[in-house]
A and B are shown apart, each in its own frame.
Chain A
Amino acid sequence: MKPIERKDEGGMTLIVKTVTRLTVGLILLFGLYILVHGHHGPGGGFSGGVILALSFIHLMLAFGRKTAAEKFSDRTAGTLLGLGALLFVAIALFGYAGRGFFLNFLPKGDRFAVLSGGIIPLCEAAIYLAVGGGLYTVFSALVSSAQDAEEEP
Chain B
Amino acid sequence: MSPVYPLCLVLFAVGVYCLAVKRNLIKIVIGIGIMEYAVNLFFVLIGYRLRGRSPIESPDQVVTDMVDPLPQALVLTAIVIGLATTALLVAAAIRLYEKYGTFDITKIRKLRG
Contact = CB atoms under 8 A, between A and B. Distances in A.
Interface of B: 54, 56-59, 76, 80, 83, 87, 90-91, 94-95, 97-98, 101
A41 to B, nearest CB: 7
Contacts, number: 26
Contacts of B101: 153
Interface string A107-144: 00001100000000000000000000001001001100
Interface in A19-74: 41-42, 46
Interface residues of A, number: 14
A149 B91 CA distance: 12
Contact of A149 (B54, B59, B90, B97): B97
Closest 9 CB pairs of A and B: A149-B98, A112-B59, A138-B87, A145-B94, A146-B94, A42-B56, A149-B97, A142-B90, A142-B91
26 contacts: A41-B56, A42-B54, A42-B56, A46-B76, A46-B80, A111-B59, A112-B57, A112-B58, A112-B59, A135-B83, A138-B87, A141-B91, A142-B87, A142-B90, A142-B91, A142-B94, A145-B91, A145-B94, A145-B95, A145-B98, A146-B94, A148-B98, A149-B94, A149-B97, A149-B98, A153-B101
A74 B34 CA distance: 30
Interface of A: 41-42, 46, 111-112, 135, 138, 141-142, 145-146, 148-149, 153
Contacts of B83: 135
Contacts of B91: 141-142, 145
A135 B91 CA distance: 14
Of the candidates B76, B80, B94, B97, the one having the most CB atoms from chain A within 10 angstroms of its own CB is B94
A15 B65 CA distance: 46
A41 B58 CA distance: 8
A65 to B, nearest CB: 15
A135 B56 CA distance: 27
Contacts of B76: 46
Of the candidates A111, A135, A138, the one having the most CB atoms from chain B within 10 angstroms of its own CB is A138
Nearest to B77: A46
